[in-house]
């Protein structure tokens, strides 16, 4: 019987080679006078001195550089320093507390404070703490205090969504996406510190979003809620960042995170594996573009495509979920999908000439820039390369020195 693809030595060397190429490509983001620069298709910076640096870009780069440093890729300490300084000196609101969404080298460009952004500050701090960055504990303590005081809604066991700069509220909307990424960050903080309060919050969010709500929706992840956490099936917000309907990529992302949460909580919550498998099966059954390959962006509640765009990140998350489920118990469905998705990613999303991944494909499987300028992100792609290399029971926020080829 052939050896499973994630276990084959040559495939594992290919994965770490792809991870190294991603780091090499995105090194051009580092070293500027302010935050991490956005890169064009050719790997050159896109913007000049007026560039707006968004908090999820700043934090994700710190996170990935810290992961790469753990793995043993040298020469990234200056980049981690750059990101940590910029988060503290520019994104942090020193007067009113919290972290603003978008800044230039000269000050805030968009000063609202989102749970989504604070989740990634927590993730960056936890990852930097793992590699011993001297400012990581200060950043982690500060953002943890803000999350507890401003975003955590103990009554419902999840995060409030957003505030203005002065901490006045902006409405009743509650979002799944910010809470999913907060779960990711809370688990990283738990692994970095051992503080049980982080894990307890992650367990509460997962129970609300997945065990109660996604289960009731046939293992489909509802994205949009009101202030009492009732699902808003008719919600139509920003078509890119708060789209209507279902986002299969988020179900795939939750599938991976639930296995991680199951392991970190002592495998005490059997529903998490049931849910991970249910989410994965539902997303693969309806989210895959059978004609062109790749996962599409959004579906309606009738499972018909709403936005048939094929972006890089749902496919990266599918790889991570498939590898994680296969490592957990040898899941044959997940193993088949692992190979299937990598074929599409390696054939169409990876830029084998310049490096990096193309963020979107047109209807003929050609790279396009309809939504994203250049190559905006290393986070999803890098994790897709690393998650399959991790030993069973070890996850992306754990001890990456355990990775072997």
Q: What is the dihedral of CA 59, 144, 113, 123, to 10 degrees?
A: 20
DSSP structure string for 239-258: TTTS-SSB-HHHHHHHHHHH
| CB of 115 closer than 8 Å to CB of 159 | yes
Rounded to 5 degrees, what angle do the CA atoms 61, 393, 397 make? 20
- Please name the residues in contact with 270: beta carbons below 8 A apart, sequence gap of 6 or more: none
Active site residue 181: no
Among 250, 262, 348, 395, the one annotated catalytic: 250
CA distance 132 to 182: 22
CA distance 305 to 87: 38
| CB of 129 closer than 8 Å to CB of 136 | yes
Active site residue 224: no
CA distance 74 to 337: 33
Among 91, 348, 380, 395, the one annotated catalytic: 380
Positions marked catalytic: 250, 380
């Amino acid at each position: 019987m052939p050896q499973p693809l994630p276990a084959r030595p040559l495939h594992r060397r290919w994965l770490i080679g792809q991870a190294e190429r991603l780091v090499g490509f995105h090194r051009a983001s580092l070293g500027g006078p302010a935050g991490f620069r956005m890169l064009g298709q050719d790997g050159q910076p896109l913007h000049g001195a007026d560039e707006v640096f968004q908090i999820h870009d700043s934090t994700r780069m710190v996170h990935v550089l810290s992961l790469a440093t753990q793995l043993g890729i040298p020469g990234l300490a200056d980049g981690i320093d750059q990101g940590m300084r910029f988060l503290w000196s520019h994104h942090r609101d020193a007067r009113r507390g919290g972290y603003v969404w978008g800044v230039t080298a000269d000050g805030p460009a968009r000063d609202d404070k989102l749970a989504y952004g604070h989740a990634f500050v927590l993730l960056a701090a936890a990852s930097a703490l793992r590699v011993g960055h001297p400012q990581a504990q200060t950043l982690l303590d500060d953002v943890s205090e803000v999350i507890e005081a401003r975003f955590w809604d103990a009554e419902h066991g999840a995060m409030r969504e957003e505030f203005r700069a002065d901490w006045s509220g902006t409405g009743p909307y509650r979002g799944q996406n910010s809470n999913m990424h907060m779960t990711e960050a809370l688990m990283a903080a738990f692994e970095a510190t051992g503080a049980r309060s982080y894990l307890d919050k992650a367990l509460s969010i997962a129970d609300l979003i997945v065990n109660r709500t996604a289960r009731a929706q046939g293992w489909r992840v509802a994205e949009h809620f009101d202030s009492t956490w009732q699902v808003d099936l008719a919600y139509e917000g920003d078509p890119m960042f708060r789209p209507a309907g279902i986002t299969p990529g988020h179900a795939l992302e939750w599938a991976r995170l639930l296995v991680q949460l199951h392991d970190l909580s002592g495998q005490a919550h059997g529903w998490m594996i049931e849910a991970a498998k249910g989410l994965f099966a539902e997303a693969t059954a309806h989210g895959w573009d059978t004609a062109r390959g790749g996962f599409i962006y959004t579906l309606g509640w009738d499972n018909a495509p709403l936005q048939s765009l094929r972006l890089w990140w749902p496919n990266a998350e599918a790889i991570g979920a498939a590898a994680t489920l296969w490592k957990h118990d040898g899941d044959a469905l997940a193993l088949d999908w692992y190979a299937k998705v990598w074929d599409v990613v390696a054939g169409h999303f990876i830029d084998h000439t310049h490096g990096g991944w193309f963020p979107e494909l047109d209807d003929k499987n050609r790279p396009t820039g309809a939504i994203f300028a250049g190559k905006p992100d290393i986070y999803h792609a890098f994790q897709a390369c690393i998650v399959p290399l991790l030993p069973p029971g070890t996850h992306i926020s754990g001890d990456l020195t355990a990775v072997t080829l």
